[in-house]
């Protein structure tokens, strides 16, 4: 969430051609894949460690997923009204919302290895559709863009395609289940090693893809392959290709995110930085509120007042002040227990249905 704050500050405070904004955005590319990975890790971990409570968790996640796709989506659109000319179709919270609904159901029905295979096949299919499926009908093309992604320049900054991001969540759930096994065995060190090794291997694979990218550019410059094929290879092997997310992007920044999580786990195990860890827990538990709030802070407030701010060279002060405001409001939200309002009522559906059945039974017997 902190990376998200820095990224959106850079996006709204600086002009598009300002190197400082581009640097901040590039430095925080870790945010989106780490967010999805942590979400998937949590589902897999809890499925393995608390199976008796997983049905309840699934309803809670479904409730929050529907909230994100409806109320949350509308709130973010309202917060983005100064930038509505970008016509955002799908934002990362939409992909998170779908993952919250689909992910737990997949975890319940498939083994960890089967989920990894499913995620790999769907992800490959999504990229195949992106590169080769271009239906003539506008509605069909929009559906392809929303589900799988688009490489059209006019759309690249507008769509977080649903299928690739859900694939990352599903794959991460398998890793979370393996972490849960180590946790039940009381082997915290093995948990950290699994996260660190998986992250390191993923980053190494991304660097190999990047090397292939460099070689392919040389081959393309020599005219030995067509420009279209060279462009397809470039997109697949570029760690900066986020719309749609390339394998290199997922591997490099997702791997970096796993290393980041492993460092937090090690700090917690050793009892270090506990005050910071407690603050991170608060931001994590209130992440839906934080994400929606920061849209109002950056896409509305910062975007509107930016032309009138003095001493723009002091942008680090504005960055810290804006982040402090978000964290402070989140602390109030969390302390007062307002998380109970992040719901559409689905998580209480089993209890309500039970009460209705009980009432119907009493009425029938009387």
Going from N- to C-terminal start, the domains of the chain cover 31-186+273-308+332-365
**Pairwise CA distance, residues 162 & 182, whole Å:** 31
C-alpha distance from residue 37 to each of 34, 97, 169, 261 (Å): 5, 14, 6, 10
Task: Return per-residue pLDDT of the chain as tens, 366 residues.
Answer: 999 999 999 999 999 899 999 999 999 999 999 999 999 999 999 999 999 999 999 999 999 999 999 999 999 988 888 776 554 568 889 999 999 999 999 999 999 999 999 999 999 999 999 999 989 898 898 889 899 988 764 444 468 999 999 999 999 999 999 999 999 999 999 999 999 999 999 999 999 999 988 887 787 777 777 777 888 888 999 998 998 999 999 999 999 999 999 998 888 888 877 778 888 889 988 999 999 999 999 999 999 999 999 988 999 999 999 999 999 999 999 999 998 888 998 877 655 555 555 555 555 555
* Chain segment 278-287, per-residue pLDDT in tens: 888 899 889 9
For residues 259 and 195, is the Cβ–Cβ distance under 8 A?
yes
Q: How many CB atoms lie within 10 A of CB 364?
A: 7
**Pairwise CA distance, residues 326 & 46, whole Å:** 29
**Pairwise CA distance, residues 168 & 175, whole Å:** 11
> pTM for the complete prediction?
0.91
Alpha carbons within 13 A on the beta-carbon side of 278 = 7
* Chain segment 111-164, per-residue pLDDT in tens: 999 999 999 999 999 999 999 998 989 889 888 989 998 876 444 446 899 999
Helices (H), 14-85: 19-27, 31-49, 54-67, 73-79
**DSSP character at residue 246:** P
For residues 165 and 34, is the Cβ–Cβ distance under 8 A?
no
**Pairwise CA distance, residues 224 & 282, whole Å:** 54
Q: What sign does the CA torsion over 64, 65, 69, 75 have?
A: positive
Tell me if residue 243 falls in helix, strand or coil: coil
Query: Based on the number of CB atoms within 10 Å of its own CB, is 217 exposed (0-12), middle (13-18) or buried (19 or more)?
Result: middle
Q: What are phi and psi of 150, to 5 degrees?
A: -135, 145
In 111-226, DSSP assigns E strands to none
For residues 295 and 79, is the Cβ–Cβ distance under 8 A?
yes
């Amino acid at each position: 969430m902190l990376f998200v704050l820095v990224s959106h500050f850079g996006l709204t405070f600086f002009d598009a051609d300002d190197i400082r904004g581009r640097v901040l955005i590039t430095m925080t590319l870790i945010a989106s894949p780490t967010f999805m990975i942590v979400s998937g890790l949590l589902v897999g971990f809890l499925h393995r460690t608390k199976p008796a409570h997983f049905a309840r968790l699934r309803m809670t996640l479904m409730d929050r997923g529907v909230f994100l796709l409806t109320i949350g989506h509308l709130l973010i659109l309202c917060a983005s009204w100064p930038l509505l000319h970008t016509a955002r179709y799908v934002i990362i919270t939409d992909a998170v919302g779908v993952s919250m609904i689909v992910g737990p159901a997949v975890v319940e029905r498939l083994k960890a290895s089967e989920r990894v295979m499913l995620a790999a096949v769907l992800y490959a299919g999504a990229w195949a559709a992106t590169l080769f499926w271009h239906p003539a009908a506008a509605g069909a093309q929009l559906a392809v863009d929303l589900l799988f992604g688009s490489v059209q320049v006019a759309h690249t900054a507008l769509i977080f395609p649903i299928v690739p991001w859900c694939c990352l969540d599903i794959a991460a759930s398998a890793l979370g289940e393996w972490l849960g096994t180590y946790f039940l065995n009381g082997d915290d060190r093995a948990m950290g090693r699994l996260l660190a090794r998986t992250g390191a291997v993923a980053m190494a694979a991304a660097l190999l893809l990047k090397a292939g990218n460099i070689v392919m550019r040389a081959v393309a410059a020599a005219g030995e392959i067509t420009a279209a094929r060279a462009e397809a290879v470039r997109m697949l092997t570029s760690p900066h290709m986020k719309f749609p997310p390339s394998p290199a992007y997922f591997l490099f920044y997702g791997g970096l995110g796993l290393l980041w999580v492993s460092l937090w786990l090690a700090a917690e195990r050793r009892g270090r930085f506990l005050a910071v860890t407690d603050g991170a827990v608060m931001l994590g538990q209130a992440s839906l509120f934080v994400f929606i709030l920061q849209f109002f802070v950056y896409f509305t407030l910062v975007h509107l007042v930016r032309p009138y701010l003095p001493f723009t060279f002091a942008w680090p002060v504005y960055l810290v002040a804006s982040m402090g405001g978000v964290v402070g409001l989140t602390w109030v939200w969390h302390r007062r227990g307002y998380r109970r309002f992040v719901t559409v009522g689905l998580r209480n559906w089993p209890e309500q249905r039970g009460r209705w059945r009980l009432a119907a039974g009493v009425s029938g017997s009387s």
